[in-house]
Every structure is written in C-alpha cells, then in structure tokens.
Amino acid sequence: MRPASIQIRIMGIRDYASTLQQMQSFTESRNADTSDEIWILEHPPVYTQGLNGKPEHILNAGQIPVIKTDRGGQATYHGPGQLIIYPLLDIKRHNIGIRRLVSTLENATIDTLSQYGIKAHSKKEAPGVYTDGGKIASVGLRIKRGCSYHGMSLNVNMDLKPFDGINICGFANLKATQVVDLDGPANSQEIALPLVRHLLDALEYQWDNCEKS
C-alpha cells in the first residue's frame, strides 16, 4: 500500500487565537478526501488552559494573556523560540489511535533530541517529554469527527521565566527546560524538519510537499 501523503506548512510566528480558529475551521470543513497537514510555527507569549483546566494552576499571569482552549490537559505557556507542531490528521481514516498519536509525538521528539546528544524520556502518567532538568515538550490534542488538531510544543531557545507563572501541565514545582540549555541547536527550524520526519516515518506517511504560508 502506498503511504498516505501529507502537506507540511511552515507558518512562522502566528497569533494563538486566530490559529486555533483556523485549526477548528479546517477540521470542521474537511471531508474524506481532504489531505492531512502538519503546521510548523511559533506563537507570541500566551498562556493556554485546557478544556478541563483548573484556574488555580494559573499562578501569576501578569501581562500575558490567558486563553481557554479546547485541547486536553491543563495550563501551559507558548512564546517565541518554542517550536509548535500541529498535526491535522484524519486518524480514523488511517486507523491511528489517540494513544498511538500521543506516543508517536513523544517518541519523535525523543529521537530528534537524541541526535543532538540530549537524553529525554516520556512518562506514562503525564504526557510530554522530560529530561533530568525538567519538562522540555508538552503534548495536548483534540479529536473531533475522527480528526486531530492541536499538537505539541518543544522548548528550544526561549525565555523560560513565564513558566514560573503556572503549574506546568497542572504539576506544582515542575520546571521547564529547553534545547539550547542542553547544548542543542538554538534555531527551532533546525529541529523542526528532523522531528517531523521522525513523526511521519512512524505514522507511515509520505512527505508530499513543504511550503511556507
């Protein structure tokens, strides 16, 4: 069987609220013939709170906006220098379970980090990717009409101080770390394509094309 094709979009820095609306609209309007896509981007500073997120996990937002969103999980922070990967996939069509998708996102990140000599691992009880120094990547998804949106964020080269304003993913005292502090690349785009390649290989997709949008 020929691997499924997928479109990769490199989108630069995009506002969180408008990107969320775009993901929702794409998912609502797609049909059985719509090609899957992966969006690669960054967001300006924003805290996001998951669908069942508890407000007490926002400790001190300061001047950073807080947006209630429709993914799973609790509070997290997005900002420049953090790599965002949004897989917009028809998981029903390709028989990809939600647990498999979460694990694949985690493992693709772990495999990519290992290329730069960074040891990382996942935790069964807490989605995401961790190093000995703290959490380096978060995973949060929404499945609607058999299709996924939202995705994962990888801290590459960013200001980590805003993470102190929340209980990261609902865990008190959990610290954030990032690639550049572990002697990895400072450029998120250098990491993006190897990570996406690991992800697509694991999900048996064929890289169709890649474009800036």
Phi, psi of 81 (to 5 degrees): 90, 0
**What amino acid positions are annotated as catalytic residues?**
169
- Which residues 6+ apart lie within 8 Å of 43 measured at CB? 13, 14, 15, 16, 19, 78, 79, 80, 82, 84
Nearest to 191 by CA among 99, 116, 101: 116
